[in-house]
């Protein structure tokens, strides 16, 4: 590769989960430290970071077509870095197949992006997909992000090895960031304007650490500590695994006002044979009992989940068990997917792969139930009063959008600003949002 002009502007394109969004922000902060600025809307960047996702469907093919499409107005290619889970899984192949890529960097190695960039400028292509045991976080710059909502990665990786999932291979083993580092980062985020922080982890509720007195702490204890941060008004966390729930976290939902009444708890299937084949290590019944414990301490908690239809061998009757589970839970929102074989995972070579049409039909039926419950949830909110954290302008002048405590989008008209916490009455439910009426004028 020829030496390249040092980039002046960058763009990070993040795909997939919220952890990638967080990693993308942090890569941006690293590049900013080197004096590279984010490209403006519509402007072509000198350096493009494709922060990829490998969880479902032809992810790698998409990366190659994105690489092919990237062009500056003069027809030349920007400098390209491929990051994220496809980089981790297929780094060497990317280097071979896509000569225009200068850097391939895995999710545990991106703190070394600045060094890789120096090499790339000299014309040396660089790959780094190491998974060091020590966290990359120590070498990242301090947070400077200005926004009322922020992500904070507390835990990474997964030891669960669900048989369909590529995450344990791309993100590696579970690691928890130290308690004090997280408290410190939360203060920094609040100083920079955050009023709501979402704690992130592939298995966020597996977070384990020691508090400042050296006592063992889990996510519940960490949340109680973060709730002491002045100016931090809302705490959320995602994504959890049913088997890592402990009493302290459930209890926090009943006692910590800043912890929002919302729980994303994937179940994937409502059938015990399928759950076993997925290596989920819980049953439909144990999952339902767990939700009851959350509802007991926080009756208005909004529930969300993930579902996979068409796992290898799933019969029609087994699929219907998932529909029955949905009927019992009444989710406020949920995410559902057709099973997608991931190379290298046990399920990819299991007998009984389900034809595409059957998966399509099951997904449509499942989503119809989920949509029904989402609409019902939104309708049941009408008449309630709640706080809304203003996140952005709406489509019409004077219109604002924010989130309710239950994570539903709420729009309303007011003389407000981004970052205001306002009190609204919810007046009209739509399928994906609720219209609100301002009760109190915005307090700056």
Indicate whether 161 belongs to the interface with ligand SF4 (CB under 6 A). Answer: yes
* Minimum CB distance to ligand SF4, residue 330 (Å): 23
Cα–Cα dist 319/338, whole Å: 12
Indicate whether 56 belongs to the interface with ligand 5AD (CB under 6 A). Answer: yes
Residue 158 interaction partner, one of ligand SF4, ligand 5AD, none, beta carbon < 5-8 Å per kind: ligand SF4
Cα end-to-end span (Å), the chain: 53
Cα–Cα dist 422/389, whole Å: 7
* Minimum CB distance to ligand SF4, residue 394 (Å): 34
Q: Using the rule CB under 6 A, which residue among 127, 155, 176, 202 binds ligand SF4?
A: 202
Site stretch for ligand SF4 (CB under 6 A), options 5-13, 37-45, 158-166, 361-369: 158-166
Indicate whether 241 belongs to the interface with ligand 5AD (CB under 6 A). Answer: no
Cβ-proximal residues to 245 (8 Å cutoff; 6+ apart), any chain: 205, 290
The residue (of 241 and 403) whose beta carbon lies closer to ligand SF4 is 241
Burial of 424 (0-12, 13-18, 19+ CB in 10 A): buried
Residues linked to residue 217 through DSSP beta bridges, in sequence order: 209
Q: Using the rule CB under 6 A, which residue among 319, 337, 406, 411 binds ligand 5AD?
A: 337
Q: Are 195 and 232 contacting, i.e. CB atoms less than 8 angstroms apart?
A: yes
Q: Are 190 and 162 contacting, i.e. CB atoms less than 8 angstroms apart?
A: no
The residue (of 344 and 398) whose beta carbon lies closer to ligand 5AD is 344
CA dihedral sign of residues 415, 419, 420, 423: positive
Site stretch for ligand SF4 (CB under 6 A), options 71-79, 165-173, 206-214, 349-357: 165-173
Site stretch for ligand 5AD (CB under 6 A), options 92-100, 128-136, 333-341, 372-380: 333-341
Indicate whether 339 belongs to the interface with ligand 5AD (CB under 6 A). Answer: yes
Indicate whether 259 belongs to the interface with ligand 5AD (CB under 6 A). Answer: no
* Minimum CB distance to ligand SF4, residue 81 (Å): 24
Site stretch for ligand SF4 (CB under 6 A), options 133-141, 156-164, 252-260, 363-371: 156-164
Q: Using the rule CB under 6 A, which residue among 261, 266, 312, 436 binds ligand 5AD?
A: 266
* Minimum CB distance to ligand 5AD, residue 351 (Å): 17
Cα–Cα dist 62/39, whole Å: 23
Angle at 327 between CA 322 and CA 332, to 5 degrees: 100
Cβ-proximal residues to 222 (8 Å cutoff; 6+ apart), any chain: 154, 179, 182, 199, 207, 209
Residues linked to residue 306 through DSSP beta bridges, in sequence order: 335
Binding site for ligand 5AD (CB under 6 A): 55-56, 164-165, 266, 268, 306, 308, 337, 339-340, 342
């Amino acid at each position: 590769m020829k030496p390249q002009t040092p980039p002046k502007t960058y763009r990070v394109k993040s795909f997939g989960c919220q952890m990638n969004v967080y990693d993308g922000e942090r890569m941006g902060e690293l590049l900013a430290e080197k004096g590279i600025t984010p490209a403006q809307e519509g402007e072509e960047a000198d350096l493009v970071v494709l922060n990829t996702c490998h969880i479902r469907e032809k992810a790698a093919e998409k990366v190659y077509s994105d690489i092919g499409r990237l062009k500056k107005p003069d027809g030349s290619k920007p400098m390209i870095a491929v990051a994220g889970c496809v980089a981790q899984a297929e780094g060497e192949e990317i280097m071979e197949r896509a000569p225009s890529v200068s850097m391939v960097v895995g999710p545990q190695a991106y703190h070394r992006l600045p060094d890789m960039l120096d090499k790339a400028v000299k014309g040396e292509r660089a790959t780094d997909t190491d998974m060091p045991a020590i966290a990359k976080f120590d070498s990242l710059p301090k947070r400077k992000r200005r926004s009322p909502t922020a992500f904070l990665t507390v835990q990474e990786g997964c030891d669960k090895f669900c048989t369909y999932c590529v995450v344990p291979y791309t993100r590696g083993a579970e690691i928890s960031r130290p308690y004090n580092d997280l408290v410190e980062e939360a203060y920094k985020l609040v100083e920079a304007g955050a009023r709501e922080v979402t704690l992130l982890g592939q298995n966020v509720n597996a977070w384990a650490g020691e508090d400042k007195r050296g006592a063992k702490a889990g996510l519940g204890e960490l949340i109680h500590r973060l709730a002491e941060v002045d100016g931090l008004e809302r705490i959320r966390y995602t994504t959890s695994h049913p088997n890592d729930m402990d009493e302290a976290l459930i209890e926090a939902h009943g006692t910590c006002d800043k912890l929002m009444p919302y729980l994303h708890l994937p179940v994937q299937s409502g059938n015990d044979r399928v759950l076993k084949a997925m290596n989920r290590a819980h049953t439909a019944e144990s999952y339902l009992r767990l939700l009851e414990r959350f509802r007991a301490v926080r009756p208005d908690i909004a529930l969300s989940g993930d579902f996979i239809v068409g796992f290898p061998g799933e019969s029609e009757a087994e699929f219907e068990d998932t529909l029955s589970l949905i009927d019992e839970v009444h989710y406020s929102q949920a995410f559902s997917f057709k099973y997608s074989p991931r190379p290298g995972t046990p399920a990819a070579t299991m007998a009984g792969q389900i034809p595409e049409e059957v998966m399509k039909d099951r997904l449509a039926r499942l989503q119809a139930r989920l949509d029904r419950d989402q609409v019902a949830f939104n309708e049941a909110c009408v008449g309630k009063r709640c706080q809304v954290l203003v996140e952005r302008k709406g489509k019409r002048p004077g219109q604002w959008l924010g989130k309710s405590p239950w994570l539903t989008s709420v729009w309303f008209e007011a003389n407000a600003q981004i970052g205001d916490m306002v009190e609204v009455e919810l007046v009209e439910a739509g399928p994906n949002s609720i219209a609100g009426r301002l009760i109190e004028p915005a307090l700056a």
